[in-house]
Amino acid sequence: MLKNNTLHSFLLAAKDDPRISAVHIALYLALLQKSLPHKNNPGIKVFRREVMCLAKISSRQTYNKRINELQEFGYITYTPSHHQAVGTVIQFTSNNYFS
């Protein structure tokens, strides 16, 4: 249920947020899909290559820019690992954007 509420809240907020593009939405959905097996765990580990493939993003530069923007805009908390084998930690936030 948490993931469904997270998606619904994000889409409502994104609709009224002029900073959010189709790439942000695709990236957020890919992150959400990667989190599905983790049930209600607020933090997940993901690997850039897998998320880029799911989001149909072919450029590392685009991925890095958009994931950092999602964090800057308050939609996620992003903790990069800087190590290929460890994975990045993502948390979905529920802040003022989702009210």
Radius of gyration of the chain (CA): 13
Q: Which two tokens stand for residue 20?
A: 């959010």
Mean pLDDT across 18-37 = 94
Task: Give the model confidence (pLDDT) of 38-94 as tens digits.
Answer: 766 768 899 999 999 999 999 999 999 999 999 999 999 999 988 878 889 999 986
Instruction: Give the Cα separation of 30 and 26 in Å (integer).
Output: 6
Give pTM, 2 decimals: 0.87
The SS3 assignment for 58 reads: coil
Tell me what pLDDT residue 56 has. 98
Q: Which domains does the chain have, with CATH numbers?
A: 2-98 (1.10.10.10)
- Our CA angle for 53, 56, 61, nearest 5°, is 85
Query: Which of the pair, 87 or 95, is modelled with greater confidence?
Result: 87
Q: At residue 22, does pLDDT exceed 50?
A: yes
